[in-house]
Amino acid sequence: MDYGPAPESQKEAQAWLEQRSRKFGLFIDNEWTSPGETFACYNPADGSQLAELTQASAVDVARAVTAARKALPGWQALGGHGRAKIMYAIARLMQKHARLFAVLETLDNGKTIRETRDADLPLVARHFYYHAGWAQLLDEEFPGHRAVGVVGQIVPWNFPLLMLAWKIAPALAAGNTIVFKPAEFTPLTAMLFAEICQQAGVPAGVVNIVTGDGRTGEAIVGHQGIDKLAFTGSTEVGRIIREATAGTGKKLSLELGGKSPFIVFEDADLDAAVEGLVDSIWFNQGQVCCAGSRLLVQESVQDRFLKKLKARMDNLRLGSPLDKSMDIGALVDPIQKQRIAGLVDSARAEGCEVYQPAGCELPATGSWFPPTLITGASTSAAVAQAEIFGPVLVAMSFRTPAEAVQLANNTVYGLASCVWTENISLALDMAPQIKAGVVWINTANQFDAACGFGGYKESGYGREGGREGMFEYLVPVSEDARPAAPSFKKPAKPDTEFTPSADPFAVDRTAKLYIGGKQARPDGAYSRAIHGADGKFLGEVGEGNRKDIRNAVEAAHKATGWTKATAHNRAQVLYYIAENLAARGAEFAERIAAQTGSKNAEKEVQASIERLFYWAAWADKYDGLAHQPPMHGITVALNEAIGVIGIVCPNENPLLGFISLVAPAIAVGNRVVAVPSEAYPLSATDLYQVFDTSDLPGGVVNIVTGSADELARTLASHFDVDAIWRHDGSAAGCAEVEKLSAGSLKRTWTGGAKGRDWFSTAQAGGRVVLAHASQVKNIWIPYGV
């Protein structure tokens, strides 16, 4: 017995296109422009032209931004309930027209109607319902925050409508207005959504939709009137956007590529794992950023599992996406087909075994590629490292859980992963060790609006969905009150007469670097003199260089025990540091006064002690969340340490500023390479003995003195630094850090040309700072199945 044809009618979708003469303008300020320069979009299944779309110019984008800016006060004045009602109307209309959306999406994208109808559209409606709730609760649940402003959003072609919902729903709920660009390959459901906005009563200018190729996206990215950019797409383009936005002050979230591991242990339900793998890699023809494209199977069951997998592949049905009995549809474009074929050919040339079902016949027209399994690839092979973005699975084996973790993390990406085992203890032990933003246990490709989604490493930063996704579209109001960065001048009359003591036994007053829990001489063997506010010579500090940073980063990576330590243990150490600092409070106050000329040095020391207590208190209270998505199970959102953070500290309040940045970072388990105040570094170097007597493990805090610009440049370029913070008031320096961070797409937190009131926890404390020091991992745990 075989499946009979079960075609979905495309009559209504084609009629909708005909009613609009198969030609679309831009949707700006709630009106359609006349079509200008156009480009065509095609049905990937047969190559037929569906419609013509307008190529938006920089002038068009500027008009859209102007409309969004003009609409912003009115949209915010509606209040949470007013926005919630409109978003609820959008959700209801999406459900009402779900079949039209599903068919149009299948025609435009090539994915099967089963996926658009049963997966994409229900999730789209869910996002608008869920975020209508956040709009209603905004003032209560996000106190002290405001909307970012005008948001530019750019989405890819693999989930055109779902990505639209992921982006637009939270932005609207937070009170922002939007300039949205769909992918040029798949713009049609965005055109239909524009009509939904009109029907739902979205005010003019709140949602603007512009179509076009990369030139349109470039115009959005470069427009000065955009306050935040949200981009989903390739890692390469993500890097370009990060560089382009450096120093502009634009808030940025990036959801980029992936090379997700699908790990199968010997005790797993192998049949269930095979079905999960089918959903993971051949869903949407593998054109999924979180596709389980790397199969890691335990060696003892490898042969048995691959045999089952090949048998399942032989039964996959490939054909017309509108046929409800099909498993695999068409690739989005011939260019994508050529790229996939090239990578598979490279695997053959390297001697890999390539398995494709013998009975899988490809249609004569359109863009098609058969389900493919590659074995025998080395871990460094192109197919094992590159994001193929197609129906291609690369399989390799492992022997132990430790080896599985090593293989899983052997990638520049960190978007998602799957763990299959009947041993829940093993699964929950594996999940925190895998460097990925999402871990599915005994399931795959689960999504929900309440559960955040986003990656680690070169898979980007920021989250979409859940509470954490809302913060991407909000700004703390305390940021509006930040002062201008104070300027610093060298002492008017430095003590140039200073010469070393003639006493050969005089104590050398050169403060060394602090690396791996030990004082270390600078690699370059140079030092710089530090003079007080009155010009008096106070001492010398080492002139750190690139090699010193390298040594400090290596020491930080060795201190992984700190990340694995309990939050209670980390809190105790912070309390000890505060206690030992208090014992030497007068000494530290005297040092601050000598360096800065401050008349309130005792106040700064006391504030520093209190700040250590503050972050010690937070250390064991910054808990995650347990979500209850619409599945038989839970999703646990863990706040995880980022890893190694480079911190360039402020010049103002040299002790308090240092502690206000370093303490929260280590409180949640990070290790730090800190560059203290360039002008007043002795307040940080005096902490060496405090750390040594406070049970702080070596390598958790490393201090390298010297030029803030030079050391920040090295930290931002270092591929083993996971994030960099810079708060020394240098606008040019912050812009450079952001630009250099694009190399490894590390997270950044920079102060720009503004200072910060370090005495205020509103500006230097709370969950806002902790969010910069952590990343959310969502672990999906089904039960009873």
Hey, CA dihedral for 330, 334, 338, 343, is it positive or negative?
negative
Q: Rg of the Cα trace of the chain?
A: 28
Distances in Å between the Cα of 619 and the Cα atoms of 269, 366, 606, 639, 663 are: 39, 56, 20, 11, 10
DSSP state of 3: P
**Bridge partner residues of 7 (DSSP):** 323
CA pair distance 441, 84, nearest whole angstrom: 34
Buried-state track 253-273, b at ≥16 Cβ within 10 A, e below 16? bbbbbbbbbbbbbbebebeeb
Q: How far is CA 229 from CA 66, 211, 218, 272, in A?
A: 16, 16, 11, 40
| 3-state DSSP assignment of residue 254 | strand
E-assigned strand segments in 309-424: 353-355, 372-375, 392-398, 416-420
**Element holding 563 (H helix, E strand):** helix 560-564
Active site residue 255: yes
H-only helix segments in 120-213: 121-141, 160-174, 188-200
* Amino acid at the residue 483: P
As a whole number of angstroms, the distance between CA 756 and CA 758 comes to 6
Give the C-alpha separation, 542 to 461, whole Å. Answer: 35
Q: What is the DSSP secondary-structure string of 104-143? A: HHHHHH---HHHIIIIIHHHHHHHHHHHHHHHHHHHHHST
Tokens of 518: 């030990």
Q: Do 638 and 624 form a contact (C-beta atoms < 8 A)?
A: yes
Query: Crossing angle for the helix pair 654-667 and 585-596, nearest 10 degrees?
Result: 130
Token pair 């208190």: residue: 617
Q: How would you classify the pairing of strands 460-461 and 251-255?
A: antiparallel
Question: SS3 of 284, please?
Answer: helix
Question: How many Cβ atoms sit within 10 Å of the Cβ of residue 528?
Answer: 15
Q: Strand, helix or coil at 348?
A: helix
Query: What DSSP designation does 742 have?
Result: G
In terms of Cα–Cα distance, which of 333, 332, 302, 329 is closest to 317?
329
220/223 Cα distance (integer angstroms): 5
Question: Of 255, 543, 640, 652, which is the active-site residue?
Answer: 255
What are the strands of the beta sheet with 207-209, ordered from one edge?
31-32, 27-28, 207-209, 177-181, 150-154, 228-232, 251-255, 460-461
Catalytic residue numbers, as ranges = 255
